[in-house]
């Protein structure tokens, strides 16, 4: 970054507007900023830093305190800087918060801070606005362009008065932050973070996996895998026994059910025999009724010979009666049709009289129709005239409304502009709340993880204490088992000796020692120990040793878990820093506070955006109304002319109408009345004609029907008399005495069919029952009635036994399946556990190495920065050796820093006079200035050399040269001159008179009662 033009207004000691054109100093100048104390030399550097970052170089004064007290009240305090970066020119302008006179009225108002950033073209004119007003946006954009924040800018490009040793004495962590920004090594930091997160995740997965394995055992009700194996071994014989018992019970149940089923079948046969016998007895009781029905059927058969003459007489009687009724009905119809025909002739005469008057009515209809057309033409013109009048009034009102709306939009825009300005001021105070919220949320999640981690430690410690106690108990048990096994072996040997003693005989050789004398033969104890007891004691001792070994392994496993737990906690605490000691509620409260600020900031952003949209809409609305007004003017004039033209045409039509003519409504009513009368008369005439013709036709049809009915009635009467004669002759020749006897014996078809079916059904059912009884008696031969209740009880008991055995087997089988499933899950879990541990051996080692937790505690990024720092120190030492006359060199400290703090970027100074390295803080004031200047120049060289690094084209040094002797001063000036020839701009602020003599190119700062001024000399 190279400054080009600096403009100060009412800033610091500068009461007016002062412009410092750095381009006038030439390309890559080395110049002196000279002036008396308090004139404003350091204020120039403050203005540079304020224009870029909104802060002063020392960050000791607030921007609002930089206003010049000598400046005019109407003159705003502001700084504008044009600078060049990578061939592109930019301009930044900043205004701090200050009080200014109100635009209207008396008093002052608060001017809120604002900032603008522009990209300029080759002619120095504005090409693009990057930031319009927001201070935080301008700071972020400048920081992104330069690659440095305000603190780093003060350490590497501006060495403020009294603070030039900051970079030299910075700690390893602070130097890491500066160098990582300068050399863009954040990639290595992200690698460290990713490796640490991966290792921590695997550690948590291992811990969680172990908890899941224990949960699998707990879910099956077993304490360990050994207990699981024992339970499976015990269940196998129990399941086999349960299966055998279930098979026996099932066979017994099947036998009982078959016996019960056979008993029910035999009982059903006996029940069926009884039912058949009862049905047969009930059936034969209907024999007398069936005999009567057979007699009635025989008499009915004798009536069949008389059925033809009887039916013929009956049918002829019915036909005669029907013909008489038809004749009577047709006679009445003829009379009715004659009356209707007379009425139709009367109606036809009346209709003929009305039809004769139609000619006069049609002539009157034509006259009224013509008058009505004239009236309608006048009405249409009057309506068109009224519509034109309404259109003109509407357009006139629209024009007035548009003017009023345009005025309202102008007022709304002014009011909304004031609201937007107030919201932007509040939003500026909340800048940076979103980034702070993200940072606090991350800290809250880490602090919550730490709390959960701490909550898991007490149960782990308690388990370890329990395991220690269990291991000690197992050790004591093993010792007791060993003692018991030894005692049992000794007793067994003593018992064997006593047994041999009982076989000894006097003067016979001993089978053990061969002696003939036996002075003290062994005596058996009261309790005899067998060899099996000795083996059992040895087995118990061996089992106790195995339990002791397993308990100690468990203690070791829990100790490793606790150690891993503590290591993870230290990592969490290191990552949290000071927040690790704060309660979780405090972190949550801080997050909540910042969440509200961020929410308010976002709400203000949305509000301002919506208000800007509203302002744009208001501007569009104003333009729309203006266009509408211009468009309405010709339409308004056309509407007025059209109204006047139509009104004149209406007046002409009114004059053409005859006097006394009815209104349009009256004419329409008269015309409608005449039209209706004509239509009604025409319809009545046609209807009368149709009615007369139809009445005559109906009368002729009725008379013809009457003649036919008269003939049919006479024929029917003759046929009736002949049929009665035939019936009487047939009856006298039959077995019946009279007609009454015939009718009594005769049955209708339904009754005859019913009686026949009843007789047939009785005979069929009787034969069927006889056959079923014979078959049933044959099946029951040799059978005795069974005891059904006893057979049912035996089957119930057999089913109950099977149910109990099945439940026993099912429970054992379910438990066996559960344990086998648990065993399979544990096998899979062990496989996953091994995979996780193998993964951690890779990622955990990489994380520890990359994050500096091994060896010299140097992280990956610090290792890379250490290499870069070595390059910087080579360049810096070359200058420091010359300025210190060969005494000092800057070197990087090899020994790690004590404690847990990371190291790798600490600086020492190599003193050739003593041959030892010592901290840079032990240098004197002048020596420190030379070392700091050399470090800044070396850093500038290396940063420039690395592709993608930050461009350090400028260096400002405020004081410090007064602490140098003449020789060191000459060396420093020579070094700066060499740097200038390498293409750098170097500005020096100093009171040393020798510098003024050696540096003819100067920026002189003068002071007076009216404020300070600047001027360039030596150009």
- pLDDT for residue 965: 65
CB count in 10 Å sphere of residue 23: 13
**Element counts in the chain: helices (H) and strands (E):** 22, 17
Residue 340 has pLDDT above 70, yes or no: yes
Q: Measure the N-to-C terminal CA separation of the chain; round to a whole number of Å.
A: 22
Domain residues of the chain, as ranges?
1-147+953-1018, 177-182+859-949, 184-302+747-854, 434-585
Query: Considering only CA atoms, which of 3, 18, 10 is closest in space to residue 1006?
Result: 18
Residue with tokens 């140097």: 858
Can you give the pTM of this predicted structure? 0.39
Residue 673 has pLDDT above 90, yes or no: no
Question: What local confidence, expressed as pLDDT, does residue 225 receive?
Answer: 80
pLDDT tens per residue, range 679-701: 887 788 788 888 888 888 888 88
Tokens 């609002």 correspond to 64
The tokens for 168 are: 């030299």
pLDDT in tens, 191-227: 878 888 888 888 888 887 777 777 777 777 778 888 8
DSSP 390: H
Mean pLDDT along residues 488-513 = 68
Name the more confident of 981 and 870.
870
CA–CA separation, 864 and 44 (whole Å): 37
**CATH (residue range 184-302+747-854):** 1.10.287
Q: Which residue has the higher pLDDT, 796 or 267?
A: 796
At 91-145, the pLDDT tens digits run 999 999 988 888 777 888 888 899 999 999 988 888 888 988 888 899 999 988 8
Query: Cα(1008)–Cα(13) distance, rounded to whole angstroms?
Result: 10
Position 3 scores a pLDDT of 92
Distance CA 882, CA 869 (A): 20
Q: Is the pLDDT of residue 315 over 70?
A: yes
| Per-residue pLDDT, 900 | 43
Q: pLDDT of 813-842, one tens digit each?
A: 888 888 888 888 888 888 888 888 888 888
Which CATH superfamily hosts domain 1-147+953-1018? P-loop containing nucleotide triphosphate hydrolases (3.40.50.300)
Write out the DSSP string of 753-800: HHHHHHHHHHHHHHHHHHHHHHHHHHHTTT-----HHHHHHHHHHHHH
Question: Radius of gyration (Cα) for the chain, nearest Å?
Answer: 64
| Fold matches, 1-147+953-1018 and 177-182+859-949 | yes
Residue 853 tokens, joined: 């937790």
| Torsion angle of the four alpha carbons 540, 542, 548, 549, in this order, in degrees rounded to the nearest 10 | -150
Task: Give residue 743's pLDDT.
Answer: 73
Secondary structure in 3-state letters for 806-874:
HHHHHHHHHHHHHHHHHHHHHHHHHHHHHHHHHHHHHHHHHHHHHCCCCCCCCCHHHHHHHHHHHHHHH
Q: What is the mean pLDDT of the chain?
A: 79
At 665, is the pLDDT very low, low, confident or very high (cuts 50, 70, 90)? confident
What is the arithmetic mean of pLDDT over 327-338?
84
Label residue 901 by pLDDT band (50, 70, 90): very low
pLDDT of residue 954: 82
Burial 351-376 (b: 16+ CB within 10 A, else e): beeeeeeeeeeeeebeebeebbebbe
pLDDT at 14: 92
Q: What is the DSSP string of 533-561?
A: HHHHHHHHHHHHHHHHHHHHHHHHHHHHH
pLDDT of residue 20: 92
Strand boundaries in 239-295, DSSP class E:
none
Distance from C-alpha of 176 to C-alpha of 186, rounded to nearest angstrom: 10
Residue 908 CB: number of other CB atoms within 10 A? 19
pLDDT at 981: 64
pLDDT digits (tens, 9 = 90+) for 747-766: 777 877 887 888 888 888 88
The strand order across the sheet containing 30-34 reads: 158-159, 954-958, 985-989, 30-34, 1002-1006, 1013-1017
Model confidence at 336, pLDDT cuts 50, 70, 90, reads: confident
Question: What number of other Cβ atoms are within 10 A of residue 36's Cβ?
Answer: 12
pLDDT of the residue at 115:
93
> pLDDT > 70: what percent of the chain?
87
pLDDT band (50, 70, 90) for residue 948: very low
Architecture, CATH, for domain 177-182+859-949: 3-Layer(aba) Sandwich (3.40)
DSSP secondary structure letter of residue 529 = P
pLDDT at 614 > cutoff 90: no
pLDDT in the model for residue 276: 81
Q: What is the mean pLDDT of residues 893-912?
A: 70
Residue with tokens 């002739």: 345
Lowest-pLDDT range, 103-112, 458-467, 633-642, 974-983?
A: 974-983
Q: Would you place residue 78 in the very low, low, confident or very high pLDDT band (cuts 50, 70, 90)?
A: very high
Rounded Cα gap, residues 714 and 63, in angstroms: 141
Task: Please compute the mean of the pLDDT values over residues 504-518 and round it to a whole number.
Answer: 66
pLDDT of residue 980: 61
Predicted confidence (pLDDT) per residue in 234-280, tens digit: 888 888 898 888 889 889 888 888 888 888 888 787 788 788 888 88
Helix/strand/coil for 953: coil
The tens digit of pLDDT for each residue in 402-461 reads: 778 877 887 887 788 778 778 777 777 776 677 677 777 877 887 788 888 888 888 888
pLDDT digits (tens, 9 = 90+) for 555-609: 888 887 788 788 778 777 777 777 777 887 887 888 888 788 888 888 888 888 8
In this predicted structure, the answer to whether residue 947 has a pLDDT above a threshold of 50 is: no
């Amino acid at each position: 970054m190279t400054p080009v033009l600096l403009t100060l207004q009412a800033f610091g000691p500068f009461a007016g507007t002062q412009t410092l054109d750095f381009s006038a100093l030439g390309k890559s100048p080395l110049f002196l900023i000279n002036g008396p104390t308090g004139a404003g030399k350091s204020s120039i550097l403050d203005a540079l830093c304020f224009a870029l970052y909104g802060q002063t170089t020392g960050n000791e004064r607030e921007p609002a305190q930089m206003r010049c007290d000598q400046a005019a009240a109407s003159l705003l305090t502001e700084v504008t800087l044009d600078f060049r970066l990578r061939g592109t020119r930019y301009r930044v302008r900043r205004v701090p918060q200050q009080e200014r006179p109100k635009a209207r009225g008396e008093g002052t108002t608060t001017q809120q801070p604002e900032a603008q950033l522009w990209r300029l073209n080759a002619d120095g004119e504005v090409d693009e606005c990057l930031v319009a007003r927001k201070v935080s946006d301008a700071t972020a954009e400048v920081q992104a362009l330069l690659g440095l924040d305000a603190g780093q800018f003060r350490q590497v490009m501006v060495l403020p008065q009294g603070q030039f040793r900051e970079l030299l004495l910075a700690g390893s962590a602070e130097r890491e932050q500066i160098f990582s920004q300068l050399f863009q090594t954040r990639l290595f930091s992200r690698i460290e973070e990713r490796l640490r997160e991966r290792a921590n995740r695997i550690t948590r997965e291992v811990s969680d996996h172990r908890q899941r394995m224990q949960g699998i055992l707990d879910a099956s009700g077993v304490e360990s895998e050994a207990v699981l194996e024992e339970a499976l071994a015990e269940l196998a014989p129990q399941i086999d026994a349960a299966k055998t018992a279930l098979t026996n019970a099932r066979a017994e149940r099947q036998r009982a059910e078959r016996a019960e089923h056979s008993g029910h079948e035999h009982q059903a046969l006996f029940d069926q025999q009884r039912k058949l016998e009862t049905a047969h007895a009930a059936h034969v009781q209907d024999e007398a009724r069936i005999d009567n029905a057979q007699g009635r059927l025989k008499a009915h058969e004798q009536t069949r010979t008389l059925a033809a003459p009887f039916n013929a007489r009956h049918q002829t009687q019915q036909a005669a009666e029907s013909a008489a009724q038809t004749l009577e009905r047709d006679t009445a119809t003829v009379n009715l049709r004659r009356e209707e025909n007379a009425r139709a002739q009367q109606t036809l005469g009346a209709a003929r009289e009305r039809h004769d008057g139609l000619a006069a009515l049609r002539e009157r209809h034509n006259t009224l129709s013509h008058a009505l057309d004239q009236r309608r033409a006048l009405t249409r013109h009057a309506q068109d005239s009224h519509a034109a009048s309404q259109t003109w009034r509407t357009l006139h009102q629209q024009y007035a409304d548009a003017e009023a709306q345009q005025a309202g939009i102008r007022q709304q825009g002014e009011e909304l502009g004031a609201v937007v300005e107030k919201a932007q001021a509040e939003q500026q105070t909340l800048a940076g709340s979103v980034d702070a919220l993200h940072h606090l949320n991350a800290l809250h999640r880490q602090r919550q993880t730490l709390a959960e981690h701490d909550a898991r430690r007490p149960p782990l410690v308690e388990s370890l204490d329990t395991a220690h106690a269990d291991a000690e108990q197992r050790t004591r048990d093993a010792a007791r088992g060993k003692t018991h096994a030894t005692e049992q072996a000794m007793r067994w040997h003593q018992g064997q000796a006593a047994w041999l003693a009982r076989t000894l005989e006097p003067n016979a050789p001993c089978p053990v020692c061969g002696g003939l004398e036996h002075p003290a033969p062994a005596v058996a104890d009261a309790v005899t120990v067998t060899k099996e007891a000795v083996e059992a004691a040895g087995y118990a001792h061996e089992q106790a040793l195995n339990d002791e070994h397993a308990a100690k392994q468990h203690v070791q496993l829990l100790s490793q878990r606790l150690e891993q737990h503590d290591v993870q906690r230290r990592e969490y605490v290191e990552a949290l820093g000071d927040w690790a000691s704060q309660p979780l509620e405090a972190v949550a409260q801080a997050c909540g506070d910042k969440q509200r600020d961020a929410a308010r900031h976002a709400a203000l952003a949305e509000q301002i955006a919506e208000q800007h949209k509203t302002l744009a809409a208001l501007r569009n609305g104003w333009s729309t109304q203006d266009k509408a007004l211009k468009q309405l003017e010709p339409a308004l004039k056309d509407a007025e002319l059209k109204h006047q033209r139509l009104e004149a045409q209406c007046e002409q039509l009114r004059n053409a109408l005859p006097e006394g003519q009815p209104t349009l409504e009256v004419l329409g009513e008269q015309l409608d009345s005449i039209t209706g009368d004509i239509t009604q008369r025409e319809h009545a005439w046609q209807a009368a004609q149709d009615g007369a013709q139809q009445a005559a036709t109906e009368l002729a049809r009725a008379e013809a029907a009457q003649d036919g009915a008269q003939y049919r009635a006479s024929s029917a009467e003759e046929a009736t008399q002949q049929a009665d004669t035939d019936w009487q002759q047939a009856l006298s020749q039959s077995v019946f005495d009279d007609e009454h006897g015939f009718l009594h014996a005769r049955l209708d078809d339904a009754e005859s069919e019913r009686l026949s079916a009843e007789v047939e059904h009785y005979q069929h059912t009787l034969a069927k029952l006889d056959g079923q009884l014979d078959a049933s008696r044959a099946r029951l031969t040799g059978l005795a009635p069974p005891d059904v209740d006893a057979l049912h009880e035996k089957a119930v008991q057999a089913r109950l036994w099977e149910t109990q055995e099945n439940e026993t087997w099912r429970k054992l089988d379910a438990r066996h399946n559960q344990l086998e499933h648990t065993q399979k899950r544990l096998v899979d879990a062990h496989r996953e556990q091994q995979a996780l541990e193998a993964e951690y051996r890779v990622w955990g080692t990489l994380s520890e190495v990359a994050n500096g937790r091994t060896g010299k505690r140097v992280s990956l990024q610090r290792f890379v920065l250490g290499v870069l720092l070595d390059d910087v120190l080579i360049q810096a030492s070359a200058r420091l050796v010359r300025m210190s006359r060969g005494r000092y060199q800057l070197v990087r400290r090899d020994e790690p820093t004590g404690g847990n703090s990371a190291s790798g970027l600490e600086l020492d100074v190599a003193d050739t006079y003593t041959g030892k390295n010592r901290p840079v803080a032990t240098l004197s004031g002048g020596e420190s200035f030379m070392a700091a200047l050399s470090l800044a120049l070396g850093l500038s060289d290396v940063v420039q050399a690395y592709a993608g690094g930050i461009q350090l084209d400028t260096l400002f040094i405020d004081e410090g040269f007064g602490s140098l002797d003449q020789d060191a001063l000459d060396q420093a000036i020579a070094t700066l001159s060499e740097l200038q020839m390498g293409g750098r701009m170097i500005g020096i602020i100093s009171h040393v008179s020798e510098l003024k003599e050696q540096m003819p190119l100067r920026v002189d700062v003068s002071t007076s009662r009216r404020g300070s001024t600047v001027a360039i000399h030596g150009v």
